[in-house]
Amino acid sequence: MPVATLVIVCGSWIALALLAVLAYRFNARQNHD
Amino acid sequence: MLDPILGGLLLYLALMVGVGLYTSRYMRSLDDFVLGGRRLGPWVSALSERASGESAWFLLGLPGAAYGVGFVEFWSVIGIACGILFSWTFIAVPLRRESARLGALTLPDYFDLRFGGRSRSLRLFAMVAILVFYVAYVAAQLSGAGKILNATFGLDLHTGIWVGAAVVVFYTLMGGFLAVAWTDVVQGLLMTLVAVALPVLGVLHLGGPGELWARVAAHDPGLLHMHAGKTGAAFLFGVAFAGLSWGFGYLGQPHLLARYMAIRATRELPKGQLIAMGWVLLSYWGAPMIGLVGLAILGPNLADPEQVMPLLAKQLLPGWLAGLMIAGAVAAMMSTADSQLLVAASTVVEDAYVRLLGRRSTPARLVLLSRVITFAIAGVALGLALTQSGSSGIINSTVAYAWTGLGASFGPPLVLALWWRGTTRQGALAGMLGGISATIVWKQVPALGQILDLKAAPVLISAALVLVVSALGPGARRSPAG
């Protein structure tokens, strides 16, 4: 399994999970505005 | 004795029909039929959005594409996940809030009312885009039903298409939005089960991931890379960006945007967003992996790669479990086709009959009319599916076309209308027309796809038109709503 493939696929999954949490906070703040 | 695969599938189909019959008792007005009376909770709203968002493409088209090109298909998956995240983050809350404030039931309704309620042309072109692209999209889903039943039971393709159409149309007619949303919940969970369990069981069957990589590499070592043998600009634009640009389409799919509009309160949307992204992270890696595991187990000579998922389920699993997995693929098709039929019928009744023609009717009569129109639109899609059945790769290509057409027609005008006070009616109209035209031109002239991918170019053209016409064209700085 090429390392580049592994890094791109796993890295993007971790990044998406973090972004989802940030987006949740942003959405919750939109509701308070 | 009943074939166990058929038994599992029939049980699932009976459950869908039962939901349709049960929810039909709540169908009293057009608002109930179109948005379920805006009373969905976050779980139903999120799972319904996810199940409707992932069509036959998810468990047939995407595995079929990965079967052919390998890990390159993960660019599409990453782009799609980004598109879903963007849509839930920047569209869901303002659209729910604004559509409720304006009293908009459909997306054309929102566009018209957002610009002062006098924009018949905006409403008309939005309707045309919805009808044209959704007929093609629903036809692709019905083709999916034909392929699944053909691969599983050897049923004639046309008969399979008829069976799929009959069940979807029945419960959509009976229960409207609530039936569609509740069947979506079952279907969304079933799709996750297939996307996670089938590749895991496949890897266990092979003896571990090492054996999977070895077998895939034995067919073609390039399948394990994400560059498709390209370098430089050819890789950046032709491979990575082309795959990632699937994400643009999520900005403007009316059948998904309706889920945001139907949630019972804006404050439920952040929770819905977490549930939807949880579904994506849990399920989405599995669909392309089904293609790769299928290549390793079934070999490289499938007549139609889009049948890899049902064929793999039959090969790996005992009858009843294979039936359940295959029901998951039918679920992916149905959960999308039902939502799209509903949106197309809603736009004819609400936008054309009630708003453009100014007809007034009793709530019961409007529900009846919605059912008749749903039936008629399904008939046209069925005719299209029957004429194009049997073509290899038809789901992938038709979905890419309709997906882009809707994303380009509605995405940029919607995002800018929600977030930029300077967006004008003329700007939104120019973006919508530019998106529709560019999609058709890009589809008809394949050479243009070499310059910029079909899934990206129409969206970017539409966005540029909204910005330029709103800033410089007639009506600039005189927008009535902010």
* A10 touches B at CB < 8 Å: no
Say what the pLDDT of residue B51 is.
Answer: 87
pLDDT of residue B53: 87
pLDDT for the residue numbered B482: 40
Handedness of CA B343, B349, B355, B356 (dihedral sign): positive
* Residue B160, in any domain of the structure: yes
B454 lies in a domain?
Answer: no
Closest by CA position to B307, among listed B168, B153, B79, B138: B153
What is the tens place of the pLDDT at every residue in B199-249? 999 999 999 999 999 999 999 999 999 998 888 888 888 889 999 999 999
Q: Do B285 and A20 touch (CB under 8 A)?
A: no
Q: Which two tokens stand for residue B394?
A: 């038809």
| CATH number assigned to the domain comprising residue B149 | 1.20.1730.10
pLDDT reported for residue B367: 81
| Segments of chain B scoring below 50 in pLDDT | 479-482
Contacts A–B by Cβ distance under 8 A:
63
| pTM for this predicted structure | 0.88
Indicate yes or no: CB of A27 within 8 angstroms of CB of B277.
no
Q: Do B85 and A23 touch (CB under 8 A)?
A: yes
Answer whether residue B452 is part of any domain: no
* In a domain? residue B412: no
Return the closest-CA partner of residue B401 out of B431, B434, B439: B439
Cα–Cα distance measured from residue B232 to residue A32, given in angstroms and rounded to the nearest whole number: 46
* Tally of domains within chain B: 1
Let me know if residue B399 belongs to a domain: no
Nearest by CB to A16, from B74, B225, B281: name it: B281
Q: CA geometry: angle at B54 spanning B51 and B55, to 5°?
A: 105
Q: How far, in whole angstroms, is CA B134 from its chain's centroid?
A: 10
B204 domain-assigned: yes
Distance from CA of A11 to the nearest CA of B (A): 10
Q: What is the mean pLDDT of residues A15-22?
A: 96
Domain membership flag for residue B175: yes
pLDDT of residue B393: 66
Mean of the pLDDT values across residues A3-23? Answer: 95
Task: Determine whether the interchain pair A31/B281 forms a contact, defined as Cβ–Cβ distance below 8 Å.
Answer: no
Residue B362 φ/ψ region, left for φ over 0, alpha for ψ in the -120 to 50 degree band, beta for the rest: beta
Query: Which residues form the domain of B11?
Result: 4-383
